[in-house]
Structure 1
Amino acid sequence: MIASMSGNVPAIKLMIENNIQINHIDKEKHSAVHWAVACGQLEALMTLLENGARGAQAVHYAAVATIDDITLERCEAILHILLKYGANVNARDIDGRTPILWAASCGKFFFF
């Protein structure tokens, strides 16, 4: 997960080469894809998705991930990548919220 958060693509590739489970869920119920999205790590996200990582729920985080360190352009690029890899914009989280509801509730309605 730390490699995804920090964008350490060589470490991610090494883990993939050594058959480390890239769809592992941590104790907070987040995946490597989630952390790559939440931390704005575009290259890490691409590496994970190109190697079979699942990322459907991460679209929720792309919709609201415009923290100070992540530019709007990077968030839009991340969202487009997730959609390219089959993320469902109508997917609901465990509380029944869709990405558009997440974005609107965070004052970030501009993605949709």
Structure 2
Amino acid sequence: MKLDLYMQIKNHYETLIKTGVFKTGDMLPSLRTVAGELGVNPNTVEKAYQELMKDGLIEIIPKKGAFVKGFIHNPSEKLEAQLKVLLSELKNFKTKKEIIKLINELLEDSHD
């Protein structure tokens, strides 16, 4: 199942925020910049940014831009959030069964 374009954009920026590429207070690229780079309508990017705002990851200040809000500081929670993002992206390429198999293989290979 392929995600809508705005959700792909949202997931991309969510990953960048949750992995620390964008930090608290950083400004995301403007709607027009992202739209131009991706060759999409600015409304598509705006919808992605709105979703990020609904999830509490960014704050949109009219005529100023979109800024990253504070995020998880607990290392365990941060890793879990990163894993969730990666798994959601992996769903674009693998079936649930394939993902579970991969996770089981990784867990079996780890030494507790």
Tell whether the structures are fold-level matches, with TM greater than 0.5. Answer: no
Q: What TM-score, normalized to structure 2? A: 0.31
Q: What TM-score, normalized to structure 1? A: 0.31
Bigger relative CO (Cα 8 Å, ≥ 6 apart): 2
* Larger Rg computed on CA atoms: 2
